[in-house]
Structure 1
Amino acid sequence: MAIRVLVVDDQEMVRAGFSALLDAQPDLEVVGQAGDGAEAVVLAAELQPDVILMDVRMPVLDGLAATEQILAASSSPRVIMLTTFDLDDYVYAALRAGASGFLLKHSTPDELAAAVRIVAAGDALLAPSVTRRLVEDFARAQPVVPITPTQLTPRETDVLRLVARGLSNRQIATELVLAEQTVKTHVSNILTKLDLRDRAQAVVYAYEAGVVIPGPRH
């Protein structure tokens, strides 16, 4: 079954371009397009897409507000924020609201298709180092007193720190000398115990709670 995608951007040419690129993939299907956040909220409810590509800056209702409304109404769709800027406070707020990551508009067609597949599979789009830099920049501006989440075991806390560094399950398994399936179980337990949607929110939580402390800028 194809992954159902809703493309949201206020520029018609951008919508058409992304839609054409995604529809060209055998496992992806663009089920709708919206030109602003308000229209996206309506279409998300009507079409029930698996993944929504959501522009950040739009008239009527911006991408952040639309994401909040869509995810408050349903936990089903995954949202990828689209932005021209790699450091955007709207994107950070969207991650906190439950978006699964973000993608730069000048990403390649292969990166675009891969991003949709990644979030549709339930993972967060955290591979680009810019995502971690984004979170670190905002966490650095808000000093916190480090805490150890009492809900987590010491091993789960170790895993959370590595998730916050952007490591994959395989990389975490190598780092901690664990089976990859064990790491996957730990990640699932972390999300459940902390009531987080996915790895993107886990990264935000880890920095905001001080489980991971941003290093100095170079």
Structure 2
Amino acid sequence: MAIRIVVADDADLLILGAQAVLEQDHRYAVVGSARCMDDLLKVAQTQQPDVILLSEWIYSVDVLSAVESIQQQHPQAKIIILGALADGLLIHDLFAAGVRAYLYKSDDLCDLLSTAVDTVMLNRPYLSPTASAEYLIAMQSSRRQHPLDAEARTVLNKLAQGDHIQQIALHLGVGVRRVYWVREKLRHRFNAKTNEHLIQRAAAEGFIYPLE
């Protein structure tokens, strides 16, 4: 039986390209595609894929939140991220959230995509060459101790929306000191000295997105 794959990205080009590469091999069947998170969850519910190939850029949600939603609703699906960012810290956080493979877009995906699918189907992790190198470098950094958990991502987006520390604390139901601590953790994670610098760096990695 063919391995059932769903491809998700907000651009048709990646979806069509991935489908063209995968369907050269009769062992794979692309059974659906999606351009936003809601559509992806619906397609996954209908098609019950073995593998979800997910771009790190998907409309209105950061990639870690997307992975967490998939894990909650479709834990059987093995998630492969196709990313434009060679960020070892992000890769570390993604694997901690349940991702099985990360492919850097500038690597030779024509050869690597099928290898990644085969590897995750054996319940083994896979990194493309550039992603692997960046991951190893990141694991030597002290910043790996500051993962982007749900609390950190909420604080990050509230800061980007212009909320003050007191407002964020009220929203989260925590003390002001806790929010200051999370903010400092975020600055260290993104190597930023100011809130403005933090927001710029986080936006570049897709962790700040427009409100609906």
Matched residue count:
144
Match of 2:101 in 1: 101
Match of 2:186 in 1: none
Q: CA deviation at 1:92?
A: 3.0
Using the alignment, how far apart are the partners of 1:7 and 1:98 within structure 2? 17
Q: CA deviation at 1:132?
A: 5.5
Match of 1:83 in 2: 83
Change in Cα spacing, 1:64 to 1:41, as seen in structure 2 (3 Å) is farther
Q: CA deviation at 1:20?
A: 1.4
Using the alignment, how far apart are the partners of 2:7 and 2:51 within structure 1? 9
Match of 1:131 in 2: 132
Q: Tell me which amino acid in the other structure corresponds to 2:93.
A: A
Change in Cα spacing, 1:27 to 1:60, as seen in structure 2 (3 Å) is same
Using the alignment, how far apart are the partners of 1:133 and 1:10 within structure 2? 25
Q: CA deviation at 1:8?
A: 0.8
Q: Which deviations, in whole Å up to 9, do the C-alpha atoms of 1:160-196 show, x marking residues without a partner?
A: xxxxxxxxxxxxxxxxxxxxxxxxxxxxxxxxxxxxx
Q: State TM-score, norm by structure 1.
A: 0.59
Match of 1:112 in 2: 113
SS, match of residue 45 in structure 1:
helix
Q: Tell me which amino acid in the other structure corresponds to 2:29.
A: E
Q: Tell me which amino acid in the other structure corresponds to 1:73.
A: Q
Match of 1:7 in 2: 7
Contact 1:37 1:63 in 2 (8 A): no
1:21-170 equivalences in 2 (<5 Å): 21-87=21-87, 89-106=89-106, 107-126=108-127, 128=129, 130-131=131-132, 133-134=134-135, 136-137=137-138, 140-142=141-143
Moved more, 115-124 or 87-96: 87-96
Q: Tell me which amino acid in the other structure corresponds to 1:18.
A: A
Name stretches of at least 5 consecutive residues in structure 2 with no aligned partner. Answer: 146-212
